[in-house]
């Protein structure tokens, strides 16, 4: 297979309301990829777009060709990937396979979501289509209530107090306060977490991400393209692994809802392909849509034993100065979670870390980064491992 490299990244701020529609939003994120004049638009032969809700909320299907039009990439292969909240990473996986197979030499991966023009009820119902509709979403369950069930099971199984999850939220907000692309650029305390409005017991306001609009994009290339960029002084990052795994969609069908089998299996595949272990990872971006998912993801990845992630968070192990920094730009919790764009934001943020372009959020000496983007309540899981070269 061909080696795959990330050559550039683009982001627009995640905001409560963006004036652009979803296609123009994506085009804005793609624009910075071409600003350095190293590559011409005509050299891009494919565009892969992560999006979940455009057809539901904006009545716009066939989104990728429309984005290609606005981004002046008309004529290239253009395909939309849908994997619910994991759509961004699904698009990345398509892009990686396109380069690795040798079919393409230079492709754009983008993720975009416009969620603010609809009511909260419409958005919640749209998001719920990523659950098992027949037995969950169609029966009135939302992702807040589904994650409340998971969080309650975690607390009961491991004897964990709700306040123990506060450290994940506090850390995310601390990092987002220094991220110009984050929606919630404000710090919070554990007391703020405890005082937050309850959404669905035990899920409170600071356990969940905000509804927002956003877009991010990546330029991927093969070895030849990476060497061209390096000759011109541009930093590049190698993709060591790109994996996906799935689990039963309905939570009640899972053998152990706290095991996150899809996440676990996706991690295992990524470690095997890349030849690295959990101990080698310098930076990790989990799918922290809910604080309990942060804990479960850390445990599924092998960074913590079952039931111990909250204890490790209390000891500061996942902060910027800890042994494993996570949610370094604020994560879904505070950067924002424009669902189809989230996986691409994670990868773009890791690209900035590994190329030492993270500013105040830079983790010194980071050489290996890992992201995991989940679809629904971990019905699918996409893992990527990146290396600074």
Structural domains in the chain plus CATH codes: 5-119+211-237 (3.40.47.10), 140-210+241-329+346-388 (3.40.47.10)
Angle between helices 166-176 and 291-300 (to 10 degrees): 100
d(CA 160, CA 177): 28
pLDDT score recorded for residue 37: 82
Tens-place pLDDT, residues 286-332: 999 999 999 999 999 999 999 999 999 999 999 999 999 999 999 99
d(CA 319, CA 146): 27
Closest to 243 in 3D by CA, of 368, 343, 106: 343
| Residues recognised as catalytic | 85, 337
Instruction: Give the max Cα distance, the chain.
Output: 58
List, for the chain, all residue ranges whose pLDDT scores fall below the cut of 70: none
Q: What is this structure's pTM?
A: 0.98
pLDDT score recorded for residue 73: 97
């Amino acid at each position: 297979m061909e080696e795959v490299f990330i050559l550039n990244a683009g982001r627009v701020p995640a905001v409560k309301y963006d004036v652009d529609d979803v296609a123009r939003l994506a085009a804005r994120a793609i624009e910075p990829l071409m600003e350095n004049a190293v590559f011409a638009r005509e050299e891009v032969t494919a565009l892969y777009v992560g999006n979940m809700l455009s057809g539901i909320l904006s009545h716009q299907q066939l989104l990728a060709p429309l984005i290609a039009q606005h981004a002046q990439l008309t004529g290239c292969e253009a395909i939309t990937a849908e994997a619910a909240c994991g759509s961004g990473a699904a698009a990345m996986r398509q892009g990686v396979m396109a380069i690795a197979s040798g079919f393409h030499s230079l492709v754009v991966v983008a993720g975009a979501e416009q969620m603010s023009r609809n009511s909260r009820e419409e958005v919640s119902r749209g998001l719920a289509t990523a659950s098992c509709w027949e037995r969950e979403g169609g029966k009135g369950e939302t992702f807040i209530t589904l994650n409340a069930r998971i969080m309650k099971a975690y607390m009961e199984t491991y004897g964990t107090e709700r306040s123990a999850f506060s450290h994940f939220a506090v850390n995310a907000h601390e990092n987002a306060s220094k991220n110009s692309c984050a929606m919630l650029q404000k710090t919070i305390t554990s007391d703020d977490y405890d005082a937050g409005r309850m959404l669905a017991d035990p899920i409170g306001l600071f356990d969940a991400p905000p509804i927002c609009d956003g877009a991010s994009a990546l330029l991927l290339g093969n070895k030849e393209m990476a060497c061209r960029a390096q000759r011109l002084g541009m930093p590049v990052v190698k993709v060591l692994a790109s994996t996906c795994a799935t689990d039963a969609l309905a939570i009640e069908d899972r053998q152990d809802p706290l095991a996150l089998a899809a996440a676990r299996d996706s991690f295992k595949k990524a470690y095997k392909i890349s030849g690295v272990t959990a101990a080698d990872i310098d930076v990790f971006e989990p799918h922290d849509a809910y604080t309990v998912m942060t804990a479960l993801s850390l445990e599924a990845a092998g960074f913590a034993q079952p039931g111990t992630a909250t204890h490790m968070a209390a000891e500061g192990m996942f902060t910027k100065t800890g042994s494993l920094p996570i949610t370094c730009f604020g994560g879904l919790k505070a950067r924002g979670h424009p669902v189809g764009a989230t996986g691409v934001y994670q990868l773009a943020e890791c690209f900035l870390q590994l190329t030492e372009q993270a500013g105040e959020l830079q983790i010194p000496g980071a050489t290996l980064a890992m992201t995991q983007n989940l679809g629904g309540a971990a019905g699918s899981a996409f893992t990527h491992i990146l290396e600074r070269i």
